[in-house]
């Protein structure tokens, strides 16, 4: 017999509320094409992006996170004091330490909730939802606040043809808590470190400091190999997430893939043979690619516009730098 006990949590976990924050600066393609010798037509054809949102200096990672979280808490009908863990998925909080999560937890008014950041790039939100679900079911936490937040405009080179038109800013939040029935299905996740260099921060900070002419390290992406990988490999991961949750494609109502490129979204929907009636998130057209924030932002828009209804079955699938990916079926709150 062991001399101590392990924790026990709720039978199931679910997303209880969703919230989003879209920064105030709307940047149409016309405003960025000159610096990259591109055109509105090319950007729309290749990526589906018409405009993106970039944050003002005041719209910090913390501010956007707090605003999105307050909306998620209101949607869930919970008070910040009921949150006992905050997980922030981001790659654009500019301090190596401490995690921005502790400042967010404090500003929200949690009672010293556990708080930490995770780094899984565009797949961060789905990683964090999976962790939150496990925490709730294992009894490590009762209500977990999951935040996906980015200010990619800080680390995007506006003169880089391969990335300047894609990346954007925003925050999305979800409250994960106990449920009588399954609301978050088993995660299917993984990584392919052989493709580590395809999307990455260009320079190591030590090289920046050693340089005679230091520049901010920016994101760099070999877009086409990532495009091919995402279009073909990710549909299989989505199918596995459906299979592991025991959900047939005919029972699916909503598809919320990472908003990386409209052509990737269409390719995945075709490969998975999604029925016509499944509503598909297409937030990228107005919002750009916001990495860890893209899935909660897209789901929030679908809920607001009546495309996703409470109780709907949704498939989330996220992928990006690492390369890292994660997918799960969830019930729309
Ligand atoms: O969020 C994390 C995960 N990220 C992704 O999933 C992004 C995946 N990748 C993509 O979305 C796409 O690769 C891009 C939208 C970035 C690029 O589209 P593509 O169809 O892969 O274009 P490409 O890089 O193969 O370039 C095609 C052509 C080239 O010209 P040639 O060689 O065919 O004459 C490029 O020089 O388009 C040219 N090009 C551009 N033209 C105008 C490349 N960038 C631009 C540009 N404007 N910005």
Tens of pLDDT, residue by residue over 55-111, are 999 999 999 999 999 999 999 999 999 999 999 999 999 999 999 999 999 999 999
Q: Exactly one of 29, 85, 127, 289 is catalytic; which is it?
A: 289
What is the residue whose two structure tokens read 């016309």? 30
All structural domains of the chain, each given as residue ranges with its CATH number in brackets, are 12-179 (3.40.47.10), 188-331 (3.40.47.10)
What is the pLDDT, as a whole number, of residue 188?
Answer: 98
| Token pair of 301 as six digits | 């828009």
Predicted confidence band of residue 48 (pLDDT cuts 50, 70, 90): very high
Q: Is the CB of 145 under 6 A from ligand 1?
A: no
Using the mean position of ligand 1's atoms as its centre, give its distance from the Cα of residue 196 in Å: 19
| Token pair of 208 as six digits | 């920046």
Please check the confidence at residue 1 and state whether its pLDDT lies above 90.
no
Q: How far is CA 55 from the centre of its chain?
A: 17
Please check the confidence at residue 45 and state whether its pLDDT lies above 90.
yes
Q: Exactly one of 75, 122, 218, 261 is catalytic; which is it?
A: 122
Q: Is the CB of 29 under 6 A from ligand 1?
A: no
User: Is 289 part of the annotated catalytic residue set?
Assistant: yes
User: Is 85 part of the annotated catalytic residue set?
Assistant: no
Taking alpha carbons only, the member of 37, 55, 36, 39 closest to residue 288 is 55
Q: What angle do the packed helices 262-271 and 223-245 form, to 10 degrees?
A: 40
Length of the chain: 333
Please state the pTM of the whole predicted model: 0.97
What is the pLDDT, as a whole number, of residue 110?
Answer: 98
Q: Is the CB of 229 under 6 A from ligand 1?
A: no
Q: How far is CA 73 from the centre of its chain?
A: 18
What would the pLDDT profile of 166-213 be if each residue is shown by its tens digit? 999 999 999 999 999 999 999 999 999 999 999 999 989 999 999 999
Beta-strand relationship, 85-89 and 144-151: parallel
Enter the DSSP assignment of 38.
Answer: -
| Choice from 124, 223, 325 to test ligand 1 binding pocket (greatest atom count within 8 A of CB) | 223
Using the mean position of ligand 1's atoms as its centre, give its distance from the Cα of residue 162 in Å: 6
């Amino acid at each position: 017999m062991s001399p101590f006990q392990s924790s026990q949590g709720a039978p199931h976990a679910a997303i209880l509320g969703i919230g989003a924050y879209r920064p105030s600066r709307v940047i149409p393609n016309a405003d960025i094409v000159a610096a990259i010798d591109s055109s509105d037509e090319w950007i729309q054809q290749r990526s589906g992006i018409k405009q993106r949102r970039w944050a003002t200096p005041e719209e910090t990672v913390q501010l956007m996170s707090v605003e999105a979280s307050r909306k998620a808490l209101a949607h869930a009908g919970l008070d910040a004091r009921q949150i006992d863990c905050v997980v922030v998925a981001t790659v654009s909080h500019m301090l190596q330490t401490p995690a921005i999560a502790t400042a967010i937890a404090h500003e929200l008014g949690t009672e010293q909730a556990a708080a930490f950041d995770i780094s899984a790039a565009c797949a961060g939100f789905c990683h964090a939802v999976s962790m939150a679900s496990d925490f709730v079911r294992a009894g490590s936490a009762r209500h977990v606040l999951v935040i996906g937040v980015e200010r990619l405009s800080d680390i995007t080179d506006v003169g880089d043809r391969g990335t300047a038109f894609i990346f954007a800013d925003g925050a999305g939040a979800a409250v994960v808590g106990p449920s009588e029935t399954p609301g978050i299905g088993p995660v299917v996740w993984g990584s392919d470190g052989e493709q580590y260099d395809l999307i990455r921060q260009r320079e190591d900070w030590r090289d920046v400091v050693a340089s005679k002419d230091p520049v901010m390290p920016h994101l760099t992406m070999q877009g086409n190999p990532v495009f091919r990988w995402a279009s073909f490999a990710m549909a299989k991961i989505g199918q596995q997430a459906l299979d592991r949750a025991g959900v047939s494609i005919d029972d699916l109502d909503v598809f919320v893939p990472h908003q990386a490129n409209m052509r990737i979204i269409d390719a995945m929907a075709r490969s998975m043979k999604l029925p016509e009636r499944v509503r598909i998130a297409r937030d990228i057209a107005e919002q750009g690619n916001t990495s860890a924030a893209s899935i909660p932002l897209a789901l929030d828009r679908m809920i607001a516009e009546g495309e996703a209804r409470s109780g709907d079955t949704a498939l989330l699938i996220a992928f990006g730098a690492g390369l890292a990916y994660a997918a799960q079926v969830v019930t729309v709150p």
